[in-house]
Structure 1
């Protein structure tokens, strides 16, 4: 199978749907063609000129980045500017770029869950709710010979997911009737004759965003020429997604010990700290990237330490005054996404011969002296 950009993008968006991104963000394809074949992928936190030079040297077809290359609209394409040089090199060497940013922060198993995993936080909840899925209910009438086939096809496209359970449906037996008219080619029955069929009504819920793909799969798996189904609006809330995580670890640590764990597990040489280093911390809020504006939410939810990057002086003072300890490992801690994204793409496309590499370029602008 030839893997194309579109295939990789589709798989990334199954993990981190674009609709989860904040409206100010720019996620998805940044440069490239959906139809371009992909043999080698490189995963990077950023797309700087050093990243692109590395991609050129390694014959990379596609860069998957966390931080968008094109974040703000370009008013001119000046090839003498840093951004212009990057774009010129990408175009000259036919290298595509795709960004999964706030959608990957928010997604389940995304950047904030990666950070929790590294720190050993087995129990966690969302820190800031940002998106609640709308759901609809569908009922489809299926001959009993094809119930399993239709149900599985729908479930594989995202229907019937409730919490940590999949394939959730209700099936009730009944009798269907129909009369095939002129021009039909019925799977059961004959033209002009009323047919009586043992059928099942299969009911389930679907995230509204997945309705189209579920319907396509359902119709493809159904034996009838014309599929009878109903779609209902419902008041149920679907899955909730959000930014940051809050939870506990299975041991009591001092703030100093937690700092050492952050440095070791996130491969960070230094952290900035607010709080009593000897104090015991047991409830941790964490938000990759710049999270200073959520210090009040972290405190409100009972965190006694907040791990986030890019804390400014006055925000740190505010945290100190409210009794909230802070560990700032810097924005570059999000580099954790490289290992996890490589593993995800290896599982998806390794069998097709696609090679996935991790960028070795250090895009952290800060040094410690």
Structure 2
């Protein structure tokens, strides 16, 4: 029988993908309104939390909204019910709807908004455009009874441990003998209380990234047969992968800037866009940053981009890019809506592993403020 879960259970699983620690200091991510300590049967994923989105959530009986853009970005000075923002908060509280926001942490996360946009546009061999930190390596060492070594290494490998370059499931194993004495109150998998037990064990060594640590310890404990698991987690000197906003990569083949613009419009489902540069010129190296990315023009130019795809480009910054020879394609801010399906897919996969009874839907309300005529 499928079980119900708390909103907090879903958010803990979600934060294994888009940890709040990835967000910029100026951002306001996480719980926005309500409580995560409540049973949740229906989740709605949205880009924004406007009044029409909240009305949709009420009509559809939603318990939890997961949004990309925070509704509480600046400190509140009043909750005025004569304003749209005041009514939004009132309706959320009245109908017991919790709102959680994943903003720059979802932009930055591996497989997050930046990677989704790159995938939509067919940009390959990507790397981080604006590094903010690096995902350092840890060595994970676990002592496993020989009888469970194969199933254990398979479980942690399937979860992503030991991923080096284009190789997965990388582990090193050493045979040895483990000994222990189960004391009063224990329920040992092997051995008898009060007696020293010696067991043929395998020392399993692998690597995980710092961002994977919180995710992996529960997997280790679940895959291991012992009541108490002996493990080491050691920080390494190896430099980890850069972590940060935006991506830069290449198209499979050079195409004209005009053709690339048509490609962006089709793939990101936008009726129009703004562009600078010579439309006949061939382009291949593409930088992408969802949302407002005009602050990172220099990053895109320094890394050799032919085109920088970002939203909310203002006049003078567009001129600067144009004069330095960087083509800019601005499809708007709303293209970040690509996160809705990705978050839905992720949550449904996690819910399946929980054997939970939770429905995930995508908001169909339009939050694009612009009309194109």
TM-score of the aligned structures, taking structure 1 as reference length: 0.89
Please say if residues 173 and 205 of structure 2, whose CA atoms lie closer than 8 Å, have aligned partners that are also in contact: yes
| Unaligned residue ranges in structure 1 (runs of 5+) | none
Please say if residues 135 and 206 of structure 1, whose CA atoms lie closer than 8 Å, have aligned partners that are also in contact: yes
Q: Distance in 2 between matches of 1:152 and 1:79?
A: 55
Deviations 1:6-44 (A, max 9, x none): 232123222212211112111122122223222222221
Residue 234 of structure 1 is aligned with which of 233, 236, 250? 236
Q: CA deviation at 1:159?
A: 3.9
Q: Distance in 2 between matches of 1:181 and 1:261?
A: 67
Deviations 1:204-254 (A, max 9, x none): 223345445544544555455654444433201234322111112223321
- Residue 62 of structure 1 corresponds to 64
How is 1:236-255 mapped onto 2 (pairs within 5 angstroms)?
236-255=238-257
Please say if residues 133 and 243 of structure 2, whose CA atoms lie closer than 8 Å, have aligned partners that are also in contact: yes
- Residue 304 of structure 1 corresponds to 306
Q: CA deviation at 1:72?
A: 1.9
- Residue 322 of structure 1 corresponds to 324
Q: Distance in 2 between matches of 1:78 and 1:258?
A: 46
Tell me the C-alpha RMSD between the 2 structures.
2.7
Q: Distance in 2 between matches of 1:260 and 1:293?
A: 25
- Residue 142 of structure 1 corresponds to 144
The total of aligned residue pairs comes to 369
Please say if residues 154 and 169 of structure 2, whose CA atoms lie closer than 8 Å, have aligned partners that are also in contact: yes
Do the aligned partners of residues 73 and 352 (structure 1) sit closer, same or farther apart at CA in structure 2, a change above 3 Å counting? Answer: same
- Residue 258 of structure 1 corresponds to 260
Q: CA deviation at 1:322?
A: 0.6
Please say if residues 136 and 206 of structure 1, whose CA atoms lie closer than 8 Å, have aligned partners that are also in contact: yes
Deviations 1:54-95 (A, max 9, x none): 211222222221101111222333333332211100011111
How is 1:145-184 mapped onto 2 (pairs within 5 angstroms)?
145-152=147-154, 154-155=156-157, 159-177=161-179
Q: Distance in 2 between matches of 1:186 and 1:40?
A: 40
Q: CA deviation at 1:256?
A: 1.5
Please say if residues 141 and 229 of structure 1, whose CA atoms lie closer than 8 Å, have aligned partners that are also in contact: yes
Do the aligned partners of residues 191 and 36 (structure 1) sit closer, same or farther apart at CA in structure 2, a change above 3 Å counting? Answer: closer
Asked if residue 356 in structure 1 is aligned to residue 370 in structure 2, the reply is no
Asked if residue 346 in structure 1 is aligned to residue 341 in structure 2, the reply is no
Do the aligned partners of residues 333 and 224 (structure 1) sit closer, same or farther apart at CA in structure 2, a change above 3 Å counting? Answer: closer
Q: CA deviation at 1:342?
A: 2.5
Do the aligned partners of residues 334 and 231 (structure 1) sit closer, same or farther apart at CA in structure 2, a change above 3 Å counting? Answer: closer
Secondary structure class of the residue paired with 1:236: coil
- Residue 23 of structure 1 corresponds to 25
Please say if residues 25 and 71 of structure 1, whose CA atoms lie closer than 8 Å, have aligned partners that are also in contact: yes
Asked if residue 269 in structure 1 is aligned to residue 254 in structure 2, the reply is no
Please say if residues 157 and 210 of structure 1, whose CA atoms lie closer than 8 Å, have aligned partners that are also in contact: no
Please say if residues 123 and 251 of structure 2, whose CA atoms lie closer than 8 Å, have aligned partners that are also in contact: yes
Q: CA deviation at 1:117?
A: 1.9
Residue 284 of structure 1 is aligned with which of 277, 283, 286? 286
Q: CA deviation at 1:155?
A: 4.6
Do the aligned partners of residues 310 and 188 (structure 1) sit closer, same or farther apart at CA in structure 2, a change above 3 Å counting? Answer: closer
TM-score of the aligned structures, taking structure 2 as reference length: 0.88
Deviations 1:259-303 (A, max 9, x none): 112112211122111111111111111111111111111111111
Do the aligned partners of residues 143 and 70 (structure 1) sit closer, same or farther apart at CA in structure 2, a change above 3 Å counting? Answer: same
- Residue 371 of structure 2 corresponds to 367
